[in-house]
Amino acid sequence: MAEQYASVIIDISHENVDRIFQYRLPPELLGEVRIGSQVCVPFGSGNRTRKGYVVDIGPTVDYDPEKVKTVISLVTGSVTADSRLLELAWWMKERYGSTMNQALRTVLPVKKQVRARNKQVVKSLVGAGTAQGRVILNDQQRRAVDRFCQTFGTPEQKPMLLYGITGSGKTEVYMEMIQHVLDRGRQVIVLIPEISLTYQTVMRFYRRFGERISVMHSRLSAGERWDQFERARRGETQVMIGARSALFTPFSDLGLIVMDEEHEGAYKSETTPRYHAREVAEQLCRMHGAAFVMGSATPSLEAYRLAEEGIYERMVLDRRAGAGSAPASVEIVDLRREMEEGNRSMFSRRLKELIADRLDRGEQTVLFLNRRGYSSFVSCRSCGEAIKCPHCDVTLTLHGRDRLVCHYCGYAVPMPKHCPSCGSPYLAGFGTGTQKLEEAAKALFPQARILRMDLDTTSRKGGHEAILSAFSKGEADILLGTQMIVKGHDFPGVTLVGVLAADLSLYAPDYRSAERTFQLLVQAAGRAGRGRKPGTAVIQTYVPDHYSIQAAARQDYEAFYRQEMGFRRLMGYPPACHMLSIQAAGKDEELLVHIMDAVSRAVQARFGAETAVIGPVPAPVYKVNDIYRKILYLKQENYDILIKIQKYVQNRWDETESCRRLTIQYDFS
């Protein structure tokens, strides 16, 4: 039998993934030692030994095999949280086509001592208070919880998709389930999109579970994160609430993962390995024998399809839970007609009338501009050229009155006096960002108190919370902003939601644009009428007949799902098909083009009979920071074949000298 070597990491942390040591596996341990196993190895001089974790096993070794030492023994006993994380890293590497190092860096925390002063901050984030009362669940909520409790801890356990309209009381259902799991001595991870990780949401959990809760969000320092993970490891907290990285909490006996707002784009990682939190959560639950519950008013097509196929169990909550609260009525306004009738402002006559009415009655309005970074750019009125970033293929964004900033690379210049292309002094700002919306609203309703929430106003620490809490305390009449205002917040005083231009998100260069538009519109409408007074939502659009807008107005998920699945099937897009995007990047454009053409030909020759190969095409933004980017798309129903293709490409890549001057990334969907 051939020799096998184990790669061992002695001190488990993010910093040490480059310090991996190789040992020979003795014959008696072959087949016993697995990825994640803890082993005892000789280390350093003399007869010293250390315990370490196995992160890789293979037939080759990077050193002289004569000098490689041998693993002493397998440490037996219970599987530790670290073993599970390493096993998970291995799974991620295989599934998403990263290196083991990249996967380890993703799952292992940065080891950093928290300074004493910061410890206080961590605690004050969850505030002080006492655990307190529960609501009485309605029959729909009860049914979901009962079903969960019946199957919890049994082998009959499918992941559960809680398909519940906004305000149907999903959070209350999660809390009952969490209680059930905690009562059995096991731990819970609650995933929430970063944007909803606000004081308001966290406080709801805190009131129920008190000190047993820990919170993980992106504003914590590395030391604070480490501290939170260590507390979880020591069993001092039993519930971790956080964005997708909370998945890697080292709980020893995880019993449940809850994933709220399952459809959110933020659950997909933007860095290699480009994992999706839903898939990783499912895998983690399989490993721990834990339950997995997802919730959404507008499930992703991926999740809903799995529910349709019976792979997920679907539970429905189709009524608002709060006393006297009912879904908003939705009106569509055709902006083409407004234009024909001479109204060129951002506000349709109907929306204007309703805002005025709310101001009269002292009720609140939310105005929503649904495109991230939809912002003003500057162009020349003489030659028509827009001012672009010299390093990227994007226009510069006007900040305030006299600064131009690139949102891709951070390049910033003062507003020029003359057009860089033709020298003309006639430069003008264009576009209707949130600042413009604010100015327009102020001009129309001078008496109104207006709050604006976007990247600019929330970039300060706590900016987010300050605006939300001022608005929920009634300190403003109108809250306006980008998508961040429609996510999950509960403002009982809001009776009107206006969507200024529903189609903006439809034209994104992405096969998911209709899905995103539908989700945003339903979520936006869901902000209206959460209290006792009925709510209205107004959707302004140039394409009133588009199915995503029609279905959103009727809040008809099923209708949208059927239409959209038809489109995905026709085009061979996920989830009807799997897709692998291979993106290569480099400063040398000629080399990039040459290599990507070669990759495309090679894949075509070897897999083209069964797999659709599209491209290479330039990335949506071709040049960023002077680096060019090209993408090759592969469509295939069988995920395993895509993994085969990825490995094939990576092997050829590694063998090709000139590829060292390029980078490559894989994205599976």
Residues that bind Zn ion (CB under 5 A): 380, 382-383, 389, 391-392, 406, 408-409, 411, 419, 421-422, 424
Only segment of 68-76, 161-169, 179-187, 242-250 that touches ligand ADP (CB under 6 A): 161-169
Contact map string, positions 428 to 467, toward ligand ADP, x by CB under 6 A: ----------------------------------------
| The only residue of 116, 136, 570, 609 in contact with ligand ADP, by rule CB under 6 A | 136
Question: Does 137 engage in binding with ligand ADP (CB under 6 A)?
Answer: yes
| Spatial separation of the C-alpha atoms in residues 124 and 122, rounded to whole Å | 6
Question: Does 616 engage in binding with ligand ADP (CB under 6 A)?
Answer: no
Site for ligand ADP in 530-549 (CB under 6 A): none
- Lookup result for tokens 């030659």: 383
Beta bridge partners of 294: 161, 259
For the record, the structure tokens of 440 come out as 């327009």
Q: Choose among 240, 334, 327: nearest CA to 281.
A: 240
Shortest Å, Cβ 388 to Zn ion: 8
Judged by beta carbon, residue 4 or residue 196, the one nearer ligand ADP is 196
Which SS3 state, helix, strand or coil, does residue 290 take?
Answer: coil
| The only residue of 30, 121, 135, 571 in contact with ligand ADP, by rule CB under 6 A | 135
Shortest Å, Cβ 375 to Zn ion: 14
Question: Does 242 engage in binding with ligand ADP (CB under 6 A)?
Answer: no
Cβ atoms within 10 Å, residue 155? 6
| The only residue of 38, 168, 296, 364 in contact with ligand ADP, by rule CB under 6 A | 168
Shortest Å, Cβ 393 to Zn ion: 9
Q: How many residues does the chain have?
A: 669
With vertex at residue 89, the alpha carbon angle to CA 231 and CA 105, rounded to the nearest 5 degrees, is: 70
Site for ligand ADP in 353-372 (CB under 6 A): none
Question: Does 109 engage in binding with ligand ADP (CB under 6 A)?
Answer: no
Burial class (CB in 10 A: 0-12, 13-18, 19+), 468: buried
Question: Does 255 engage in binding with ligand ADP (CB under 6 A)?
Answer: no
Question: Which of Zn ion, ligand ADP, none does 166 bind, CB closer than 5 to 8 A by kind?
Answer: ligand ADP
Question: Which of ligand ADP, Zn ion, none does 421 bind, CB closer than 5 to 8 A by kind?
Answer: Zn ion
**Dihedral sign from CA coordinates of 442, 444, 445, 446:** positive
Q: Which stretches within 61-130 are classed as H helix?
A: 81-96, 100-107, 116-126
Question: Which of ligand ADP, Zn ion, none does 356 bind, CB closer than 5 to 8 A by kind?
Answer: none
Judged by beta carbon, residue 491 or residue 607, the one nearer ligand ADP is 491
How far CA 569 is from CA of 336, 578, 635, in Å, comes to 32, 11, 12
Question: Which of Zn ion, ligand ADP, none does 424 bind, CB closer than 5 to 8 A by kind?
Answer: Zn ion
Question: CB pairs under 8 A, 24+ apart, for 29-33?
Answer: 29/71, 29/73, 29/74, 30/1, 30/4, 32/74, 33/6, 33/57, 33/71, 33/74
Question: Does 588 engage in binding with ligand ADP (CB under 6 A)?
Answer: no
Shortest Å, Cβ 208 to ligand ADP: 11
| The only residue of 322, 429, 493, 572 in contact with ligand ADP, by rule CB under 6 A | 322
Question: Does 203 engage in binding with ligand ADP (CB under 6 A)?
Answer: no
With vertex at residue 556, the alpha carbon angle to CA 554 and CA 557, rounded to the nearest 5 degrees, is: 150
Judged by beta carbon, residue 424 or residue 663, the one nearer Zn ion is 424
Neighbour-count burial for 303-341, b at 16+ CB within 10 Å, e otherwise? bbbbbeeeebbbbebebbbbeebebbebebbebeebeee
| Spatial separation of the C-alpha atoms in residues 261 and 294, rounded to whole Å | 8
For the record, the structure tokens of 592 come out as 């990039």
Judged by beta carbon, residue 165 or residue 181, the one nearer ligand ADP is 165
**Angle formed by the axes of helices 277-288 and 81-96, to 10°?**
140
Judged by beta carbon, residue 305 or residue 623, the one nearer Zn ion is 623
Shortest Å, Cβ 170 to ligand ADP: 3
Site for ligand ADP in 475-494 (CB under 6 A): 490
Shortest Å, Cβ 640 to ligand ADP: 37
Question: Which of ligand ADP, Zn ion, none does 408 bind, CB closer than 5 to 8 A by kind?
Answer: Zn ion
Cβ pair 61, 41 in contact under 8 A: no
Shortest Å, Cβ 534 to ligand ADP: 15
Question: Which of ligand ADP, Zn ion, none does 170 bind, CB closer than 5 to 8 A by kind?
Answer: ligand ADP
Judged by beta carbon, residue 165 or residue 351, the one nearer ligand ADP is 165
Burial class (CB in 10 A: 0-12, 13-18, 19+), 467: buried
- Lookup result for tokens 């655990």: 131
Beta bridge partners of 330: 537
Question: Does 262 engage in binding with ligand ADP (CB under 6 A)?
Answer: no
Binding site for ligand ADP (CB under 6 A): 135-138, 141, 164, 166-172, 321-322, 490
